[in-house]
Structure 1
Amino acid sequence: MAKPLIGITTSQFLTAGSIMAGTKRQFVSDAYIQAVLCAGGVPVLLPIITEQAAIAEQIAAVDGLLLSGGGDIQPQIFGEEPMHELGTVLPERDTHELELVQQALASGKPILGICRGCQLLNVALGGSINQHLTEPTVQHDQRSAGDYAGHTVILEHGSRLAGLWGDTVMTNSFHHQAIKVAAPGLWITARAKDGVIEAVEHEAAPFAVGVQWHPELMIYKNPAMLELFTAFVNTANRK
């Protein structure tokens, strides 16, 4: 049987300091690609586009959707004005990924959102995010390497994540934003010890999970993190 195709969202930047200066380029961290491969899937990069029909074709061509990390989400999408601490936003990426989520859910295809992807999943379904964490007591923007598990995440009993790891799990952390109000239909299934939301799961979809940390950076030093990707890919394999 053919391995499932996992679509991975991309980000973009403008080339600087060369004869190609000003040229838009799209990219994704290799860690996402390797995690999908290690979990038994075939990674397929989904370039940023905004034509709705073409986005539908992207989803039709893959068996699962991985929403990768990246920059901040436009606060206007969830009804707020930008705070001073808001980072760089990419409106075209937001448009693309919001539509990808709707198309994937409509077709019953599994979704895994990582960091920004977790927040994007929430916003796509009507939730909101904290534009900047002002009073966390846990370090959410660690200085250590990505494979270092810096803080404890408490998992909700009965959740998919608790089924993988039990009551708690140690994770890395690289974010200054987080879910503020969970969207209708999303179950908050993990929090840091300071109360910051660390994961959500869709209550009705076969697999729609968002995690605030970066498990793809941990799979070699902490192989238990690969279990999340394996569960995701296995669900895609059944579609």
Structure 2
Amino acid sequence: MTRPVIGVTTSNRSGWRVFPLMAFNIWLAGGRALRWGTGREADLAQVDGVVIGGGDDISPDLYDGRLVTSARLDPARDALEKRLVDAALERDTPVLGICRGSQMLNVALGGTLHQDAYGTYRDSRFIRTILPRKTVLVEADTRLAQLSGTGPMRVNALHTQAVEDLGEALRIAARDEGGMIQAIERLSDPFAIGVQWHPEHLFYARRQRALFRALVTAAAARRDHAGQIAAVRRDAAPLGEQ
């Protein structure tokens, strides 16, 4: 059987170095990656799943927020990814949102963002590194807990924005030690999960690879017209806390 194809959105500025990592993780999970971005064709009919990757801040115009002066925006990418998330959910195409992508998943479903997340969550440690130096706490009885276990998880962090009000049909899957939302997930098919960290840089950690495996599993189920969340649940092997 051919590998499920996963469309991956990237920044035009940094995508050249990020996409190979994404493609590697998706290949390890059993899929094949296709790079998307502004100026590149992005046709959902060509793929079985979608990764919305990291990058610049999301414009508050998408959720009636007020622009902060420190924001660095990419309106063309905002429009592309908002369209892709809307269409993916309408077509039952599974989605993994990474950092900015997690925020876009929330915004596309009607949620809002903290533009200055660390100004709001004073007890959250402001760490900007691809190294796993931040601790997140996984909520029990969530999809993320099924995939990666419930023990404290060491992750990286590059973000300044974070989810504020949840979008429709989403729930919180993890927070950091200061209470800031670090992961969200959809309650029903199509499978959709968003994480505030960058698991593509943590491919050596089984708990992080599980996110890409879940997306590829859901993409294969979608291609077979089967239940995605049910397939992910069956595929999720019990994990030790690591």
Which band: TM-score by shorter chain? 0.7 to 0.9
Partners of 2:172 and 2:45 lie apart in 1 by 29
**Following superposition of structure 1 onto structure 2, how do residues 95-106 of structure 1 map, counting pairs within 5 Å?**
95-106=79-90
How many residues end up aligned between the 2 structures?
A: 218
Residue 137 of structure 1 corresponds to 123
Contact in 2 for aligned 1:36/1:229 (Cα 8 Å):
yes
Residue 236 of structure 2 corresponds to none
Residue 12 of structure 1 corresponds to 12
The secondary structure found in structure 2 opposite 1:153 is strand
Residue 227 of structure 2 corresponds to none
Residue identity (%):
36
Letter in 1 for 2:173: T
Residue 64 of structure 2 corresponds to 79
**Following superposition of structure 1 onto structure 2, how do residues 179-198 of structure 1 map, counting pairs within 5 Å?**
179-198=163-182
What displacement does 1:27 show? 4.1
Residue 218 of structure 1 corresponds to 202
Partners of 1:7 and 1:195 lie apart in 2 by 32
What displacement does 1:205 show? 2.2
Partners of 1:180 and 1:7 lie apart in 2 by 27
Task: Summarize deviations over 1:77-129 as a string: whole Å, max 9, x none.
Answer: 1102211222x211110000001001111111110000000000001111011
Task: Summarize deviations over 1:186-216 as a string: whole Å, max 9, x none.
Answer: 1111111101000111112231000000111
The secondary structure found in structure 2 opposite 1:123 is helix
Residue 3 of structure 2 corresponds to 3
Structure with the larger helix share: 2
Moved more, 90-99 or 76-85: 76-85
CA RMSD of aligned residues (A): 1.8
Residue 133 of structure 2 corresponds to 150
Moved more, 30-39 or 189-198: 30-39
CA distance 1:207–1:235, shift in 2 (3 Å): same
Residue 157 of structure 2 corresponds to 173
The secondary structure found in structure 2 opposite 1:228 is helix
The secondary structure found in structure 1 opposite 2:51 is strand
- Normalising to structure 1: TM-score of the pair? 0.86
Q: Does 1:92 align with 2:92?
A: no
Q: Does 1:60 align with 2:45?
A: yes
Letter in 1 for 2:176: A
The secondary structure found in structure 1 opposite 2:33 is strand
- Normalising to structure 2: TM-score of the pair? 0.85
Contact in 2 for aligned 1:138/1:151 (Cα 8 Å):
no
Q: Which runs of 5+ in 1 are unaligned?
A: 14-24
**CA radius of gyration, larger in:** 1
Letter in 1 for 2:124: V
